[in-house]
């Protein structure tokens, strides 16, 4: 029983750290793009992620793998915030996850499906973009340099059952603070950098009445985008995350090393209201780290308030 519990706790720790790292390293190129105020954006997307954690060869647990299919719907609105361009987003994910591994050569698997924790994000471009309505925005020349900030809150509303070691919800609040800057040169290239920090409250209702505490995540991203024409662009990205330490019942767990990944994102505006985007990311493996791959397909619909 002790071996099974130890393995289960490792599965929990690995899955939650994997999930947190994916969220922390989700690439967001062109997040500082200009858009008129009083705009509404509906987004539907599909995300496929799979990966494994690379453990020491002496570990009794090997071949830990995770495969997650996620459907996401989101709504965003732009508005004037302290005389700056602001945006608020609401994001709801629904996931189908499979998890597997081997303990001393014996296979073990589990699966889950249900809602993950929703996300609410408030962001603002502080320097470089005026809050203009559509009629004025059309005549506006975009600024070359932009600087913005945002805060993201994820309440513990996803699927969670304390009698199970692995859940899609985290049963804790998550907060993210981020800053980004971009510079456009020769009217075709955009260089953008972002830094983010994730903070977590304690899960006080872990398996068998235990607790889980996780230290903050820190991540940095760099994007280089080429703009073919308005609404059509290709971005190359690289990012790195330091995933900190997790404590289960006050006991420090094995630390996951810094994770590095790279990716490509292509965006195509079909017409004034409809757009498509596809993104591919892949991790750079190293010992005691995550090696995973993600494919994301987005559809977005944009409309503005009627006068």
Contact 275, 20 (CB under 8 A): no
**Cα(218)–Cα(50) distance, rounded to whole angstroms?**
22
CB proximity list for 18: less than 8 A, separation 6 or greater: 51, 53, 66, 290, 292
DSSP calls for 109-155: EEEEEEE---EEEEEEEEES-----HHHHTTPPPPSEEEEEEEEEE-
**Cα(68)–Cα(47) distance, rounded to whole angstroms?**
8
DSSP calls for 153-176: EE-S-S---TTSS--SS-SS-EEE
Sign for the pseudo-dihedral over CA of 30, 36, 37, 43: negative
CB neighbourhood size of 57 (10 A): 7
Q: How far is CA 60 from CA 17, 19, 54, 215, in A?
A: 20, 23, 12, 26
Res 286: pLDDT: 57
Instruction: Locate all alpha helices (DSSP H) within the chain, ordered by sequence.
Output: 2-24, 134-137
- Pairing state of beta strands 232-242 and 274-284? unpaired
Q: What's the token pair of residue 284?
A: 């750079």
Q: How far is CA 27 from CA 144, 159, 168, in A?
A: 21, 25, 21
CATH of domain 2-304: 2.40.128.130
**Cα(300)–Cα(278) distance, rounded to whole angstroms?**
12
Displacement of CA 250 from its chain's centroid (Å): 27
CA atoms within 13 A on the CB side of 251: 9
Res 157: pLDDT: 95
Res 19: pLDDT: 55
**Cα(245)–Cα(44) distance, rounded to whole angstroms?**
33
What tens-digit pLDDT sequence spans the chain (307 residues)?
333 334 444 444 445 544 554 555 578 899 999 899 999 999 999 999 887 755 544 444 566 778 889 999 999 999 999 999 999 999 999 999 887 877 667 777 778 899 999 999 999 999 998 899 998 998 888 899 999 999 999 999 999 988 877 788 889 999 999 999 999 998 899 999 999 999 999 999 887 788 888 888 899 999 999 999 989 999 999 998 887 678 888 887 766 557 788 999 999 999 999 999 999 998 876 555 556 789 999 999 999 998 6
**Cα(68)–Cα(53) distance, rounded to whole angstroms?**
15
Q: What's the token pair of residue 228?
A: 């073919």
Return the residue matching tokens 């973009």: 129
């Amino acid at each position: 029983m002790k071996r099974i519990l130890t393995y289960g706790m490792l599965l929990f720790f690995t899955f939650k750290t994997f999930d947190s790292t994916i969220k922390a390293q989700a690439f967001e190129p062109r997040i500082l793009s200009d858009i008129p105020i009083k705009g509404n954006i509906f987004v539907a997307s599909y995300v496929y992620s799979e990966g494994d954690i690379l453990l020491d060869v002496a570990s009794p647990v090997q071949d830990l793998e995770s495969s997650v299919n996620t459907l996401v719907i989101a709504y965003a609105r732009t508005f004037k915030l302290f005389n700056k361009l602001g945006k608020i987003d609401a994001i709801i994910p629904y996931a189908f996850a499979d998890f597997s591994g081997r303990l001393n050569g014996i296979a073990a698997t589990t699966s889950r499906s249900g809602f993950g924790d929703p996300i609410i994000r408030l962001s603002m471009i502080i320097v470089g973009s005026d809050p203009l309505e559509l009629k004025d925005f059309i005549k506006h020349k975009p600024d070359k340099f932009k600087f913005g900030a945002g805060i993201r809150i994820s309440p513990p509303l996803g699927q969670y059952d304390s009698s199970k070691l692995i859940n899609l919800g985290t049963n804790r609040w998550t907060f993210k603070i981020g800053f980004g800057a971009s510079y456009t040169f020769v009217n075709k290239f955009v260089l953008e950098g972002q830094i983010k920090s994730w903070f977590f409250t304690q899960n006080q209702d872990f398996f068998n009445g235990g607790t889980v505490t996780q230290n903050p995540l820190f991540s940095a991203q760099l994007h280089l985008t080429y703009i073919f024409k308005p609404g059509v662009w290709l971005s190359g990205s690289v990012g790195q995350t330091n995933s900190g330490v997790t404590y289960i019942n006050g006991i420090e767990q094995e630390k996951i090393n810094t994770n590095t990944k790279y990716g490509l994102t292509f965006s195509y505006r079909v017409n004034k209201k409809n757009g498509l985007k596809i993104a591919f990311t892949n991790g750079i493996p190293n010992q005691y780290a995550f090696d995973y791959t993600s494919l994301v397909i987005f559809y977005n619909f944009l409309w503005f308030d009627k006068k």
